[in-house]
Amino acid sequence: MSKKRFQLQESAYCASDRTRLSVAEHDRPDHIITEADRTQVELWAAEMVVLSKYFSRSRECRPEAALRLLALWSRLSRIEPSALPAPNQPGGPLSEACTCVRENAGQLIEAVELIAAEHALGWLERAGGLKESYLDAIGISSKQQQRFATSLLHDLDDLELARHTAETLNDPRSSLTDSVMKCRYWLTENAHAFLACGTLIATELRIMRHDLPAIDRRLCETIDKYLSIRSAMEEMDRDLSFAS
């Protein structure tokens, strides 16, 4: 391993020290969904309802809001059904929000396609800044790095989930694919830059529906980035153990 890469890993590992153990919670047989998890899911569901109602009333389709709405449609599909809020019943607010996305998928996707390439370029620039921050002795603090890395991971997840929704509801060869793959390739090659995201990864793996691989293989692939980072954490553990 190169000295520069080990330095990056060690710096990112320090930023992740308080959160990395939580990733192992997913390996428990029960991986019980917590109240905090349920609260987060309720917030996502409420956000989807608000965005869909705004779109239904105004018919205005801002690209950023469209991306988030498409992402939430697939995000909630990825979650263990028992964690979803009670309103997810036929005719309920969340059900109506999902119907809104299905019926207006074409317009929403067109709006997102306007910003997808620029969105991906901005993500790559920010990700490069995160990587460099681990090598800068007088750079941002560990807490700032953790927030930075988590924000990037959230943004990439939204882009991937929006792509999944587009392919499911409208176009199996969505033009969002190129933008997603550029960012995914960077993350795969630089997974150690996201070692500080242990809490986020643990949550996503814990609330993922256990039968997702059988239900929707393509949606399951949106989890791959979390597994890549978890593998990087395990590699870092081995490298530090060997170094000591």
Q: Is the pLDDT of residue 244 over 70?
A: no
How far is Cα 157 from Cα 183, in angstroms, rounded to an integer? Answer: 10
pLDDT of residue 27: 45
Residue 24 has pLDDT above 70, yes or no: no
Residue 92 gets the label, from left (phi > 0), alpha (psi -120 to 50) or beta, of beta
Q: Virtual CA dihedral for 6, 8, 9, 10, nearest 10 degrees?
A: 80
SS3 content of the chain, % helix, strand, coil (to 5): 80, 0, 20
pTM of the model: 0.85
The Cα–Cα gap between 66 and 129 comes to 27
- Mean pLDDT of all residues in the chain? 83
Predicted local confidence at residue 82, as pLDDT: 87
User: Which position has the higher pLDDT, 60 or 110?
Assistant: 110
The pLDDT, as a whole number, for residue 135 is 80
